[in-house]
Amino acid sequence: MAPDRSSLSRREYVRALVAAGGASALSACLDAVGGGDERSGVDAPPGTDDPDSLPGRQHAWNGALSSDDDGNVQLPAHHVLLALSLHEGPDEDARETTEAALRTLERAYEWSNDGLVFTIGYTPAYFRRYHGSIPDSVDLPEPVALTDRENPTFDEFDAVVHLASDRPEVVLEAEEGLVGDRETVNGVDVETDLGSVFDRLDDRRRTGFVGEGLPADRTDLSGVPDSVPEEAPFFMGFRSGFRESQATEDRVTIEDGPFAGGTTQHVSSMDLQLEVWFEQDNHYQRVSKMFSPEHAEGDLVGSVGERLETTNGLSDERIEATAADARERGVVGHAQKAARAREDGEPLLLRRDFNTGDGDRPGLHFLSIQREIGEFVRVREAMTGADLDVPSANNGILHYIFVNRRGNYLIPPRSLRSLPPADPDSEREPID
C-alpha cells in the first residue's frame, strides 16, 4: 500500500515508498521525483552492453562511487535487500536466466551512485540445500547468535540481492524489473527476469537509507526523537565509514580457490533505542560511547563528526588504551573497541550499513563484507568487549542496539554470481 503523501515531506515520502516497494510505490515515486513517468520509467544514466567493462568483483563499488568533501567513499543513499527463495534446485536454465536478468540491470543503469550498484549473495543454507555442502574453500559458516544478549532469527532463504542507488526510483524500478513486475528498466526491455527461478520473500524484504539529513527526516517514526541532529548521516548522530577505518576492497577479497575475487557478507538487523541515546545521555557521553572518552575530553568529533575527515581519529595509542579507559574512565567507545580487531593496523571489515525505518521503527541494517566470516566474528567479539572491565551501559553502544536477525552470505565473483555450485572447480554436479 502506498504511503500517505499529505503528512510527509518529499524526502520522507520517497523513502517511505522505497520501504513499501511494489509497482504502485514505483509509480508514486516517479511522480514525486519528477524524473520520468510511469510508462517510460526512470531517467538515469544508462549502463553498458559490454559486461567485460565491469569489474570482476561484484563488490567493487568504491571505484565507481562518489566521494564526500573529505574524500571518503559515499555510499548510495537508498538501499533494498531483496530476499529470494529458489522454486526448485538450480539447473543450467535457471543459471542462464539469473545471469540474463542481472545483465539486464547492468545494461540499464550506470554502475554508479546515480545509476545502480548491486550484488547477489548466497547463504550457507543455499549451498547445503542444493549442493549438499557449504563451499570449503571459503569461510562461510551458518549464522549463529554472537552475543549473550541476542536471540536472532537467521537468514535461511537462498539469496539476497543488495540494490543501491542515490535515486529512490532506481532501486524500486530495478527491483520490479528483476522480479518481472516491469517491462522496462531505465528504458531497457526486460526480456528475462528472476520470477521463473526465485520467489521474492516480501516479509524478508529490507530497505534503508544513509546520508546527511536523511535520519533527521524520519522523526515521523515513533522512536525517532526530534533531537536527531540535522546533518547526521546515521540515526545515532555521527558520521561513519571513514576511509581509514574501512578495509579496502582488496583486503576483503577472497584470494585463493574457485571463489577468488569474491567476498563474504554479514547482514545483521537491529532495533535502535534513540530516545535514551539522545534524550538521556548528553553529547559528551555519546561521543565517549561512540568514539572514545578521549574524543569527548578533547572535543575531537564536533557535533556529528565534522571535525574528523578521513579517519575516526583513533591512533594506535588510543586503541591500545581501551582496556585502561574501561577501568580508569568507566566507559569505552564503540569505534575504539572495534578497532582493536585491526590486523597490522588494517581494519578487517568494509562496512556498508544503512539506516532503516522498516516496520515503522528506527533500526540499522548492518552490512559488512570481509574475506572471511570469521573476521567479522572477531571484530564483533572486539565490539562485545567481554574482556573489558566496563559496565554494560558504558560499553560502547551496546546499551542502545538490539540485534534481531543475522545472515551470512558468499558474494561470488561476477563470473560465478548466478547460482554457483559449492565447488565450481569440480565437474558441474548433476542437475536435479
Question: Where on the chain is the footprint of ligand HEM (CB under 6 A)?
Answer: 234, 236, 238, 240-242, 245, 272, 290, 312, 314, 334-335, 338-339, 342, 347, 349, 351, 364, 366, 379-380, 383, 401
Instruction: Please name which of 414, 409, 419 lies closest in space to residue 140, comparing C-alpha atoms.
Output: 409
With respect to ligand HEM, which residue has the nearer C-beta, 51 or 223? 223
With respect to ligand HEM, which residue has the nearer C-beta, 208 or 420? 208
Instruction: Please name which of 364, 372, 367 lies closest in space to residue 341, comparing C-alpha atoms.
Output: 372
With respect to other proteins, which residue has the nearer C-beta, 154 or 402? 402
Instruction: Please name which of 355, 316, 368, 412 lies closest in space to residue 120, comparing C-alpha atoms.
Output: 412
298 binds other proteins (CB under 8 A): no
C-alpha–C-alpha distance, residues 307 and 147, integer Å: 33
With respect to ligand HEM, which residue has the nearer C-beta, 72 or 104? 72
Burial class of 7 by CB neighbour count within 10 A (0 to 12, 13 to 18, 19+): exposed
Q: Please select the residue that binds other proteins; options are 279, 306, 316, 346, rule is CB under 8 A.
A: 279
C-alpha–C-alpha distance, residues 321 and 119, integer Å: 38
C-alpha–C-alpha distance, residues 147 and 35, integer Å: 45
Site string for other proteins, 108-147 (x = CB under 8 A): ---------------------------------------x
Instruction: Please name which of 324, 312, 317, 329 lies closest in space to residue 387, comparing C-alpha atoms.
Output: 324
- The residues, ordered by sequence, that sit 6+ positions from 286 with a Cβ below 8 Å of its Cβ are 236, 237, 238, 277, 278
Q: At what angle do helices 92-108 and 168-178 cross, to 10 degrees?
A: 150
* Residue 179 CB, nearest approach to other proteins (Å): 30
How many Cα atoms occupy the beta-carbon half-sphere of 305 within 13 Å? 27
15 binds, among other proteins, ligand HEM, none (CB under 5 to 8 A by kind): none
Q: Please select the residue that binds other proteins; options are 94, 108, 214, 272, rule is CB under 8 A.
A: 272
With respect to other proteins, which residue has the nearer C-beta, 299 or 346? 299
Looking only at the bridges linking them, the beta strands covering 78-86 and 354-356 are unpaired
398 binds, among ligand HEM, other proteins, none (CB under 5 to 8 A by kind): other proteins
Of 77-85, 93-101, 153-161, 266-274, the window that binds other proteins (rule: CB under 8 A) is 266-274
222 binds, among other proteins, ligand HEM, none (CB under 5 to 8 A by kind): other proteins
Give the binding-site size for other proteins (rule: CB under 8 A): 43
C-alpha–C-alpha distance, residues 183 and 251, integer Å: 39
364 binds, among ligand HEM, other proteins, none (CB under 5 to 8 A by kind): ligand HEM
With respect to other proteins, which residue has the nearer C-beta, 66 or 282? 282
Of 55-63, 84-92, 328-336, 364-372, the window that binds other proteins (rule: CB under 8 A) is 328-336
Looking only at the bridges linking them, the beta strands covering 363-370 and 350-351 are antiparallel
With respect to ligand HEM, which residue has the nearer C-beta, 198 or 277? 277
* Residue 332 CB, nearest approach to other proteins (Å): 10
C-alpha–C-alpha distance, residues 431 and 219, integer Å: 51
Residue 327 one-letter amino acid? R
Positions touching other proteins (CB under 8 A) are: 147-149, 151, 222-223, 271-276, 279-285, 288-289, 293, 296-297, 326-331, 361-362, 386, 389-394, 398-400, 402
